[in-house]
Chains A and B, each alone.
Chain A
Amino acid sequence: MATGNYGIVRPSDVSPEDVEIILHYTPSRDLTTDFTLTQLDSIQYLRPYYSNASIGGTETELLGGLYNLTLPADQFNALGIYTLYFRPAQIRTLINDCGVLSSSPNTKGIIINIQDVPSEFRNKFTNQGLVGFRVEYLNDNGTKIPNFFRIITSNFYCEPVTQNLVNTSQKSVRYRYSEGSTNLMFCTLTPSSSPTTRPNATPFIGAPAQNIIITNTFFNPAVVEVEIVEHDASTLAIALYGNQTKSIEDGIYTIYDSGNNIYKQYNLYEIRDQYNELLYEVRQDRGDDVDFSKNFANIIST
């Protein structure tokens, strides 16, 4: 008898501003090493669905999970494969300092100067506003430290205090939480404490002046592949199962789609030799030279 199970997946109700949409385009699936990535404005193109009375809830309540993505025509304007990569918005900043709390020297953390944070993300830097965010680190040469991250477990406004160290004449800058808002944010990370078996093996949480990337964990990264194709099974089915007409007089053969729009138009004719022996039967695509008199409604109305 199990005492209970619970799921660990939920529809995300992330705000579009916390999403980054990366677009990759390639005209074919041929081998390419030339990756060109662009970014779509998530605030403009990603819109959440809202509840309504018929499904329960109000129209101000985010439905969760389901979003509507606009594919702008100026970007989706060619045949090919468009790969859309949805990832949490990245907050790029740097570590102002790594320190400890004056009242609790065992509590280690990184200090971020909010002025170093891009203005659009500063609203996240409130007390406990970054809990659950992930911190990734960059090397001095700009490369990212792979397979390495820390999770923010708490963040509070703080201010530096100067303390005398017990054993030396040096003074140490430590930090204490501030009731009011300041420019500095003290973030505790996990893991940051030493294992009990190796007390001196303090986990790395960053270095002063190191560039970092802070990302939310509000949703799982996702990939959607949009392929704009000339034909797919549906359009090929038109050729097989769609309405068709053949004009006996001029030999124009027309294929209509499910909405009776003209999908293809051909000239049908025969080629004979000087003895009037049939050599070929030809079906020739008329291309843009569409005979509109062969529209389906016009024909069946006669």
Chain B
Amino acid sequence: MEVRKIKISPEVLIFDIRPETYSGFTFGYYSGLTEILSGGTNGDSLLTDLSIPIFLKQDYSDVGYYSPFDGDLTHCNENVNFTFVIDENQPNGICILNTSKRNVTYLSGATYFVDWGDGSPIEEVIDFIPVTTCHNYLVEGTYTISFSGSSIFGLFTQNKNVTIPFVVSPYLDPDGTVIFPSNNGSWSGSPSSQNYIYFFDSNNSVTEQISAAYSNIPFIVSGQTKSRLEELRVYGPNPFIDGLMLTLEDGTTGMTASQSVNFTAYTINDQTYLDYPNGQSVFYCFSQGLTSDMLTASGLTKFEYLMNIIEQPEIQSYVFIERGKYSGMEDFKRMGEINNVGSLRKYGLGFFKVRNWNDI
């Protein structure tokens, strides 16, 4: 608290000096403030009320609340992740591709390292996809590749297993079948991607590719695999019983979901598989994109100030959050800046109205 100091001396007073008139001239006289304070009748003070200006200010805190949805929200897997492919130039070569998000300011200083899992030195990964970082395993076996990214928000690691020699499943129908539904001349239902191998992939209407501003759309991930249906076989006349949960040899659980002439569906360890009569087996799942239903809501003690007045869900998922304008009383770090159109659209619950040029 600053202290303002004011001095009252005779020179700053006009009305409190003793008046006198002599030969028609009016003037005052004094010899210091004591004269003023005791110069009246019977030694009374001549001082009248004084007046000083004062300034009062108010430091205020934003009584707003933070919303987890007013800024950018991305899953950690998007910020630190990799994929790997076979290195055809080496006998047991594996190349990783750094798929980590990089076009955001808050990750600009991030560093990435890979531990190939075979005792070889940890290697720094400088490049991003499509540039590869390769390694040759000397001994066949299964290894865990640990890919770590270090940024201002800490160290995040992704682990993936690779079996050497690495076998790539062949694409039986890499281009899939594109269906152009007749919509009376409207092309709105046209698929936007043709590189699918599973017929559910053709659900590529635009509405399924967009999401609310705060979430990343989960998309279908599918691929060819080796059938595991035999692991669900039971003894008896009906070897596969729909809905019967079994514990498999590796400790996981699985069950047959449905059987038809088109395919047999089953799940193992919560992963869905489809076996087709032609011998193909495919799996499919959703990516780890975030939607609001994946966030756990609870009484949020963080915004006590408005507790029980405005409730917001508390994010308990493993995500990166960019706090937006409702940061209020929180001690927070602003993670990102608006440096691309996507961030501009998502910032602050549509704080900026972004339109396409031909809409203007």
Contact = CB atoms under 8 A, between A and B. Distances in A.
Query: Counting chain A CB atoms within 10 Å of each CB, which of B9, B20, B34, B61 scores highest?
Result: B9
A67 B53 contact: yes
A104 interface: yes
B295 to A, nearest CB: 15
B6 interface: yes
Contacts of A180: none
A226 B7 CA distance: 6
A66 B55 contact: yes
Given A192-B307, A295-B20, A79 B34 contact: yes
B29 interface: yes
A106 B179 CA distance: 55
Contacts of B3: 223-225
B51 interface: yes
Interface stretch (B125-133, B230-238, B296-304): B296-304
B1 A222 contact: yes
B37 A77 contact: yes
Interface stretch (A3-11, A31-39, A274-282): A3-11
Query: Counting chain B CB atoms within 10 Å of each CB, which of A9, A192, A287, A295 scores highest?
Result: A295
B31 A264 contact: yes
Contacts of A190: 304-305, 307
B6 A227 contact: yes
Interface string A194-228: 11100000000000000000000111111111111
A68 interface: yes
Interface string B12-49: 10100100101101011111111101000000010111
B249 interface: no
B256 to A, nearest CB: 40
Interface size for chain A: under 10, 10 to 19, 20 to 34, or 35 or more residues?
A: 35 or more
Nearest to B33: A230
A227 B8 contact: yes
Contact of B299 (A9, A106, A224): A106
B355 interface: no
B52 interface: yes
A231 B31 CA distance: 9
A68 B57 contact: no
A79 B47 CA distance: 11
Contacts of B60: 8-10
Contact of A223 (B4, B29, B47, B304): B4
Interface in A223-273: 223-232, 234-235, 238, 257-265
B261 interface: no
A148 interface: no
Contacts of B293: none
Contacts of A65: 55-57
A73 B48 contact: yes
B54 A67 contact: yes
B59 interface: yes
A259 B2 CA distance: 34
A8 B4 CA distance: 21
Interface string A1-20: 11100001111101000010
B306 interface: yes
A60 interface: no
A11 B35 CA distance: 39
A71 B23 CA distance: 36
A65 B5 CA distance: 18
Contacts of B27: 260-262, 295-297
A79 B11 CA distance: 15
Contacts of A10: 57-58, 60
B63 interface: yes
A153 B304 contact: yes
B308 interface: yes
B54 A70 contact: no
A56 interface: no
Contact of B32 (A1, A72, A196, A231): A231
A95 interface: no
Contacts of B23: 293, 298
Given A79-B33, A219-B57, A262-B29, 5 more contacts: A67-B56, A191-B301, A196-B314, A225-B5, A259-B28
15 contacts: A1-B337, A67-B54, A73-B48, A106-B308, A132-B63, A188-B309, A192-B304, A196-B298, A231-B9, A232-B7, A232-B9, A235-B10, A238-B11, A260-B27, A265-B31
Interface of B: 1-12, 14, 17, 20, 22-23, 25, 27-35, 37, 45, 47-63, 298-299, 301, 304-309, 314, 337-339
